[in-house]
Amino acid sequence: MGWKQARRRTATSAALAGVVALVLAAPPSVGAEPRTATAPLSGAVAVAVATQRNASPTPPPPRLPRDFRGKGKWIVRDLGITVPFTWQGRDGDSQMTAGGPQYPIWFTNLIYRDTLYTLTYKWPGLNEHPCSRIPGFNLEALNQGFENARFVGPETLRRTPQRRVNHWRVGVVFPNLPPGNYPRLPLALGDIYVDENNRGTFWQVLQFGVQNLYDPELDEWLVMDTFEHRPGTVTLPQRCEPPG
């Protein structure tokens, strides 16, 4: 789900920021605001509405589909950089691409044939450009990670057009210890906004943590303008192909 070079440290933290899509606290979402009623309610009506909302079941967690294609923007706020972004899936493989040769940022992340790949072509201050690999990772593993997401609540992304979404949070903390006074290190956090009527339509993701090691503030956004449920194109870069 943005994944850059540091994501090879753990398969879980790498995945939870990708497409898809991931420490202590996240900044407010880009244009995301909690829904509010159009007029104040009072008395028995207010009580009935509150009871109905409290009784509403938690929706199912995000789930990246096997086939999809979408376009949008990759945003690095502290660097003042926004570049074009595409996210595509085909038969369970998927690929994110941000920027291009004419932009200050250019990278691609893939889940391809049960392996997670990250290749950063361009990034401010970066001189190393290897293709990193995490074998044994696929779409099923990513969606399994989403199963542990916490539901934040319904929201409206105030863009054009406005989009009603369900806001989810995914985190990775090391080590995995029970509640209590134990030392813990927050590694990664993801805020994921999926369509309220389709958990497989991803409109916005904030990722924050060690997987964003190249960025001084450790946070990056992806914001989708389109998201269609039809097969896209996934291409493994030549630099990531195994030798021989």
pLDDT tens for residues 49-70? 444 445 568 999 999 999 999 9
Average of per-residue pLDDT across 161-166:
96
* 212 confidence band (pLDDT: 50, 70, 90): confident
**What per-residue confidence (pLDDT) applies to 177?**
83
**What per-residue confidence (pLDDT) applies to 217?**
82
**What per-residue confidence (pLDDT) applies to 43?**
53
The 10s digit of each residue's pLDDT in 172-187 is 888 888 889 988 877 8
Residue of 200 and 187 predicted with greater confidence: 200
> 64 and 83 in contact (C-beta within 8 Å)?
no
Least trusted range by pLDDT, from 41-55, 99-113, 122-136, 150-164: 41-55
* 37 confidence band (pLDDT: 50, 70, 90): very low
Write the CB contacts of 16 (distance below 8 Å, at least 6 apart in sequence). 1, 22, 142, 145, 170, 171, 172, 188, 190, 207, 211
CATH topology of domain 5-32+61-229: outer membrane lipoprotein receptor (LolB), chain A (2.50.20)
> 90 and 234 in contact (C-beta within 8 Å)?
yes
Sheet containing strand 68-76, strands side by side: 32-34, 150-157, 163-174, 185-195, 198-209, 219-228, 68-76, 81-90, 93-99, 106-111, 115-122, 131-135
Average of per-residue pLDDT across 150-165:
96
Using DSSP's 3-state secondary structure scheme, residue 62 falls into coil
**What per-residue confidence (pLDDT) applies to 5?**
42
